[in-house]
Structure 1
Amino acid sequence: MRFIKLPIISLLNEHALIYPTPSNIHYAWNFGFLAIICLVIQIITGIFLAMHYTPHIDLAFISVEHIMRDVNFGWLLRYIHANGASMFFIVIYIHIFRGLYFGSYIKPKQWTWVIGIIIFLLMIITAFIGYVLPWGQMSLWGATVITNLVSAIPKIGNYIVTWLWGGFSVDNATLNRFFSLHYLLPFIIIGASVIHIILLHQDGSNNPLGIESTNDKIFFYPYFIWKDFLSLCFFLILFFVFVYFYPNLLGHSDNYIEANPMVTPTHIVPEWYFLPFYAILRSIPHKLGGVIAMLLSIVILGLLPWIHSTEIKSSRFRPIYRVFYWSLLSCCLLLGWIGGMPVEDPYILIGQFLSIYYFFYFLVLLPILGKIEFQLLKN
């Protein structure tokens, strides 16, 4: 009993063992737990990889090859870290779309949702600068293209790009500062995740019915913790199928060519998890307009608590919204496909149509759908 009074034990007991959880939540709620597991995997493997990595343009590519060929189980560490980033984004995307389906952004959970979107934005930045570190062809040219987007800012854009690069091109200074930030940002994500969980536990978890279940709750342990570990088993099976059998499937082959500033790849694309936003960027011919649209496509998710027009959380009771929800999911998947295609017709036209629908859904449909559904129920 004396040990239970220790703050860390008491906190663990309150928020992980006896935390009151709605009894009707199902496996769609397991992805928050899986996201924590992915974050831990990325941090642990990243620390060990950093022990052997050299952030210098003459040595970075060679140090990665050294890790793969000479370090004991270095190949395993790198493949877990590289594929772990993809698994992390798969888990987070499912987590976000679950929140969209069950209205997890509706009051009183609006700030939990906003912090979640901030974590997502931090993940995007961390993954982007991490993609630069192997110093392959796609690393160099991807960094050059994406950082150059900042030059679209009127008057001061070029100065900011020079500051980001630490010079007049993506060079050694850029690689050094990207390595430092890539090491730092995951710990900021941990802090944001703690805030996310505190806010979640303050108001209680949502549930599939989207109603307050103050009485119908049970302890998190042992009922839900075993459900989480079962989902973890299936997740790890899928994860290690990629690690052991298809380790390079989700990457780009050009990144196994050492970075050469004199040779530009024929088709520069980011990692697959950035492709929907990249497609929105490319769909607008104006450079500044494309950058604003790409940023707005993420920011608009954080504004959902103030855009929606209903207090009904779950899509189970919103048949019209449910149809449009699946149309949004289809739109995002198609944007991902378009982002990996060459910049030519008909891909340009399809990307523009999908981009328009993406913003139309959030800025027009979402604010009026709740009112339409309310009128239909009233009549």
Structure 2
Amino acid sequence: MYMWRKNPFISLFMGSMYNLPSPINISFMWNFGSLVGFFLVVQIVSGLFLTMHYCPSIDGAFASIVHLNHDVNYGWLLRYIHANGASFFLGLMYLHICRGVYYKRYYNTYAWLVGVLMLGVSMLTGFLGYVLPWGQMSFWGATVITNFITAIPIWGVDIVKWVWGSYCVDNATLNRFYTFHFLFPFLLVVLSVGHLVFIHGTGSGNPVGGFSSSMKIPFWPYFGVKDILGFFVVVFLFMLVVLFFPDVFGDPDNHHKANPMVTPVNIKPEWYFLFAYAILRCIPNKGLGVLALVGSIVVFALLPLGKVKFSGNLMYQVVFWSWAMNFCVLTWLGGCHVKVVFTYMAQVCGFLYFSLLFLLMVV
């Protein structure tokens, strides 16, 4: 055992995971980070196997998905693990961020900023992956979202043509999206390591707020057991979805091959983009809508500029939970058909989304 500890890699693992000094009062809310890391590994491994059967061309992409589902042994299982894994990965990341916002974990500025960057890269990776099946919603989602690049002054039209590799979403677009969808998860691994380094370098937070300099115990077995229990619960729910409700997060239109001549009635992205999509869609000006869309993510990077000491008073609780419920309403509105009443509701909720977050910075 002593010889093992002399190994620098084993010592690094023991110090950063096994023997990590952890605050004695952290709860199951601290499980979300490790679960996000687990699903990142699931996505990378399942995606690697999917690349062996996927054909990145507009003529063969949809057919390769059908072939995977019907002709490859357990190909359907592999595909649904990857498709639903994206929903669990980003869903758990949202919960992880909400926990950080609630306990004002952004006082660890560098770790927080790396986390916000990871959120942006994860959402971009999810969007690129959603295009790859080349179904109806994949094609039209790519067409609508990439067209918003034209809102960039002067160079917008040239940039979107460069992204497409053509004058519309075409074969070159699919190849480029496939390449970056494959590479970005490895960037996420690098960012995850940096995120952990910044967290462990300053000390883990706790429900009371602030850094803990005393009353710490080793991570294993006390909190390792909590992580394992949370892991089994989430994996059970994940496999329940994969095996019994594999299309619960999907869109029926994506079971049809992309047809540029037929536009779906309600074009919408995956559920984890709906809050931002609702903010984008409710603003009649294209440029301002794109700014609001980007701002809905960038605003988290501004939180360290505000009050960073966790108070947990009644006012803070009311503001946070109002923001959380407003986020859920925005997600629902993003999936609704375009109607005047829904547009007005989204405008109100979009205003509350930003104003409540800024209010959290001062209470």
Q: Under a length normalisation based on structure 2, what TM-score does the superposition of the two structures give? A: 0.98
Matched, 1:366 2:360: yes
2:115 maps to amino acid: G
**Structure 2 residues without counterparts, runs of 5 or longer:** none
Match of 1:346 in 2: 341
**Structure 1 residues without counterparts, runs of 5 or longer:** 370-379
Superimposed CA distance per residue, residues 185-208 of structure 1 (whole angstroms, 9 cap, x where no aligned partner) = 000000000000000000111000
Match of 1:313 in 2: 310
Distance (whole Å) between structure 2 residues aligned to residue 154 and residue 354 of structure 1: 28
Match of 2:23 in 1: 22
Number of aligned residues: 362
Match of 1:11 in 2: 12
1:56–1:212 Cα change, 3 Å: closer
1:79–1:314 Cα change, 3 Å: farther
Distance (whole Å) between structure 2 residues aligned to residue 201 and residue 85 of structure 1: 27
SS of 1:12's equivalent in the other structure is: helix
Distance (whole Å) between structure 2 residues aligned to residue 299 and residue 155 of structure 1: 23
Shift of 1:303: 1.1
Distance (whole Å) between structure 2 residues aligned to residue 366 and residue 215 of structure 1: 28
Matched, 1:269 2:268: yes
Contact 1:103 1:314 in 2 (8 A): no
1:6 maps to amino acid: N
Match of 2:67 in 1: 66
Superimposed CA distance per residue, residues 250-289 of structure 1 (whole angstroms, 9 cap, x where no aligned partner) = 1101000001111111110000000000000011100000
SS of 1:208's equivalent in the other structure is: coil
Contact 1:101 1:314 in 2 (8 A): no
SS of 2:340's equivalent in the other structure is: coil
1:219–1:55 Cα change, 3 Å: same
Distance (whole Å) between structure 1 residues aligned to residue 71 and residue 211 of structure 2: 56
Larger mean CA deviation between 286-295 and 4-13 belongs to 4-13
Superimposed CA distance per residue, residues 88-110 of structure 1 (whole angstroms, 9 cap, x where no aligned partner) = 1111111011111111012xx11
SS of 1:105's equivalent in the other structure is: helix
Contact 1:54 1:60 in 2 (8 A): yes
Distance (whole Å) between structure 2 residues aligned to residue 54 and residue 357 of structure 1: 43
Matched, 1:336 2:331: yes
Shift of 1:169: 0.7
Distance (whole Å) between structure 1 residues aligned to residue 19 and residue 52 of structure 2: 39
SS of 1:346's equivalent in the other structure is: helix
Distance (whole Å) between structure 2 residues aligned to residue 314 and residue 251 of structure 1: 40
Superimposed CA distance per residue, residues 110-163 of structure 1 (whole angstroms, 9 cap, x where no aligned partner) = 111110010000000000000000000000000000000000111110000000
2:341 maps to amino acid: P
Following TM superposition, where does structure 1 have runs of at least 4 consecutive aligned residues deviating by more than 6 angstroms? none
Distance (whole Å) between structure 2 residues aligned to residue 27 and residue 359 of structure 1: 28
Distance (whole Å) between structure 1 residues aligned to residue 52 and residue 253 of structure 2: 25
Contact 2:326 2:353 in 1 (8 A): yes
Shift of 1:367: 4.2
Distance (whole Å) between structure 1 residues aligned to residue 129 and residue 9 of structure 2: 33
1:274 maps to amino acid: F
Larger mean CA deviation between 77-86 and 5-14 belongs to 5-14
Percentage of matched positions with identical amino acids: 48
SS of 2:106's equivalent in the other structure is: coil
Match of 1:113 in 2: 112
Find the partner of 1:322 among 293, 317, 331. 317
Shift of 1:244: 0.6
Match of 1:132 in 2: 131
Matches within 5 A, 1:96-175: 96-106=97-107, 109-175=108-174
Contact 1:141 1:268 in 2 (8 A): yes
Match of 2:177 in 1: 178
Distance (whole Å) between structure 2 residues aligned to residue 35 and residue 22 of structure 1: 21
Shift of 1:361: 1.7
Distance (whole Å) between structure 1 residues aligned to residue 332 and residue 277 of structure 2: 10
Instruction: Calculate the aligned-residue CA RMSD, in Å.
Output: 1.0
Shift of 1:314: 4.8
Matched, 1:357 2:352: yes
Larger mean CA deviation between 50-59 and 2-11 belongs to 2-11
Shift of 1:302: 1.1
SS of 1:258's equivalent in the other structure is: coil
Matched, 1:86 2:84: no
Superimposed CA distance per residue, residues 309-342 of structure 1 (whole angstroms, 9 cap, x where no aligned partner) = 3x42252xx2211101000001100000110011
